[in-house]
Amino acid sequence: MKVAILVDGYNVIYSSPLLKRLLKKSAYRAQEGLIRLASNYFSMKGVEGYVIFDSYRRPCQDTEKEISTNLKIIFTGKGKTADSYIERFTCQYKSYYDYIYVVTADYSQRMTVVDKGVLLLSPQNFLGEVETCQKALTKKYSSIPPGSHLRVSDYLEDGVRKKLERIAKEEN
């Protein structure tokens, strides 16, 4: 199943006490904090994630940075907002994805994407999901006995691990 989650970056930052505190120090720190949280979440869920930041005052085109196979960061270009990027994306890719979720607190944005059959998630619910995933990761990896040695294969998904084991057997 092909799933995309579009996150209105500043909506989520302003909905998180931690990220809002980082924003008071620097926009870059708040963005970096959200990207770190989103990267872990999208990787664990195995979905494609897009975090969109308004930068409509910059005199350039949209900038897209691929952080990982699961996460792309978009900075909107001159005259464009995160909302306009999200609307364009949902129209353009609705038939490509089985589900598109939009994380936003913007009421008009929510009404626009609902009309397109897109699923909505509030920033608070998204942050709750992220926190649940973080707790699951912490529980999974904190249960490793002291003194044991972790291997890269301990972090691989089962399917990937099996493919690598099969390749190793074929080479021997």
> 30 falls in which pLDDT band (50, 70, 90)?
very high
pTM of the model: 0.77
- Quick check: is 45 in a domain? yes
- Quick check: is 141 in a domain? yes
- Quick check: is 24 in a domain? yes
Q: Which domain holds residue 96?
A: 3-145
Tell me the CATH number at 20: 3.40.50
Q: Number of structural domains, the chain?
A: 1
By percentage, how much of the chain surpasses pLDDT 90?
41
Determine the pLDDT at residue 61. 75
- Quick check: is 165 in a domain? no
- Quick check: is 154 in a domain? no
- Quick check: is 92 in a domain? yes
Determine the pLDDT at residue 152. 62
pLDDT at 33 over 90: yes
HEC string of the chain equals CCEEEEEEHHHHHHHCHHHHHHHHHCHHHHHHHHHHHHHHHHHHHCCEEEEEECCCCCCCCCEEEEEECCEEEEECCCCCCHHHHHHHHHHHHCCCCCEEEEECCCHHHHHHHHHCCCEEECHHHHHHHHHHHHHHHHHHHHCCCCCCCCCHHHHCCHHHHHHHHHHHHHHC
Instruction: Select the more confidently predicted residue: 41 or 114.
Output: 41
